[in-house]
Amino acid sequence: MAIQQNPFGQVLVALVTPFQADGEVDWPAVEKHIDDCIQSGADGIVVTGTTGETSTLTDPEKIKLVEVAKSVAAGRAKIITGGGSNETAHAIELYQASEKAGADGVMIVTPYYNKPTQAGLLTHFRMVADATDLPVILYDIPGRTGVPIKYETILRLAKHPNILAVKDAKGDFSEESRVLNQTDLMYFSGDDANVLPHLSIGATGLIGVTANIASAPYRAIIDAVNAGDLHTARDAHQRLEPLVRAVMTHVPGTVAAKYILHGLGRIGSPRVRLPLVGPEEWEAALIEDELALVADVPGVDLSNFRPDRNAAAGGALPQIAGTTR
């Protein structure tokens, strides 16, 4: 297969959306967090994705996140808009508005809840990709959407000129190898625990939740793999393992990432929007037990970790419901 240019970056952060304690977007914190991630080694920022709580963001908030991220990045990182919608017409509207707002690419999630057939998926992805000139990442995450993008469907979608990549949270490495062998598609790991295994079979990069806390070690893994240095890549992977477990195991990744970022003083509140809630006491204790095992991870100084379980408790109802158009 021909090697094509990568318009997305390699270390992509699945960005959390910092909120104030009342659940409204903390825009200064958004700007600071994006800048922190880029300075730590991220060359791509995915806003309004699953980790960004897209399902409870309003459309104006989603578009403003693209605009703010584009301004903060100032050419240092690509800005990808995620989320979309399980309604094809609405997804088209959002991605067209995101393109006008300055997005460098779009990540189209498999329509959730509807449970469409593969023919429905094919039509949805094609119509959204037709509606924008931006490069497209397909987001295959059946654990959240209920429907996988099957191998045969991916092969057909690979023929669309705008569809260039897949974010894989399915974990079928044999299928991924088949697709990489038979198409020009790039793959991005959508599973923080399996970034290095994905890269080892030919993935281009990652779109990670834990990268909100630590972009630098992912940059080290990518650079080492690019240089053919498996030893360095494996060492960074192993050092990250307890941090990944802390973020991805006990509560939704968004919840844990915000809890940790707030404990490190990097965002002003760990608030999430309902139906997400902060970790319960026993969940917070498990997260903190995992963090106690983290050592020598670049950019993560846990000696300054001061968790606030009271601040993290519960969830917020925003002033405007996120389902408004």
The full DSSP string for 251-294 is: S-HHHHHHHHHHHTTSSS----BTT--PPPHHHHHHHHHHHTT-
Q: Which residues are annotated as catalytic? A: 139, 167
- Counts of helices then strands in the chain (DSSP H, E): 13, 8
Q: Where are the alpha helices (DSSP H) in 134-278?
A: 142-145, 151-157, 173-182, 195-200, 216-226, 230-248, 253-263
What secondary structure letter does DSSP report for 111?
Answer: P
Handedness of CA 155, 159, 160, 166 (dihedral sign): positive
pLDDT at 322 over 90: no
Quick: pLDDT tens for 37-71: 999 999 999 999 999 999 999 999 999 999 999 99
Burial of residue 51 (number of CB atoms within 10 Å: 0-12, 13-18, 19+): buried
φ, ψ of residue 12 to 5 degrees: the values are -105, 130
Question: How many whole angstroms separate alpha carbon 302 and alpha carbon 3?
Answer: 41
Q: Which residue has the higher pLDDT, 137 or 324?
A: 137
Instruction: Give binding residues for pyruvate as ranges.
Output: 51, 207
217 preceded by a cis bond (ω within 30 of 0) = no
Query: Residues 289-298: what's their mean pLDDT?
Result: 96
CB 128 within 8 A of CB 139: no
Torsion, Cα of 136, 137, 141, 145 (10° steps): -10
231 token code pair: 């030893």
Quote the CA–CA distance of 241 and 184 in Å, as a whole number.
31
Q: What is the pLDDT of residue 142?
A: 93
The DSSP H or E segment spanning 105 is: strand 105-109
Whole-angstrom CA distances from 305 to 244, 247, 259, 300, 302 are 16, 14, 10, 10, 5
Task: Give the residue, 29 or 304, on which the prediction is more confident.
Answer: 29
Structure tokens at 312: 């993290």
pLDDT band at 323 (very low <50, low <70, confident <90, very high): low
- pLDDT of 4 reads 64
Looking from the CA of 49 toward its CB, the CA atoms found within 13 Å total: 32
Residues flagged as binding site: 51, 207
Band (319; pLDDT cuts 50, 70, 90):
confident
**pLDDT tens digits, 202-247:** 999 999 999 999 999 999 999 999 999 999 999 999 999 999 999 9
Return d(Cα 209, Cα 100) in angstroms, integer.
26
Q: From 220, 210, 215, select the one nearest 242 (Cα to Cα).
A: 210
Which amino acid is present at 116? P
Give this prediction's pTM.
0.96
2-16 pLDDT, tens digit per residue, is 446 899 999 999 999
Give yes or no for residue 168 having a pLDDT over 80.
yes
Neighbours of 36 (CB within 10 A): 18
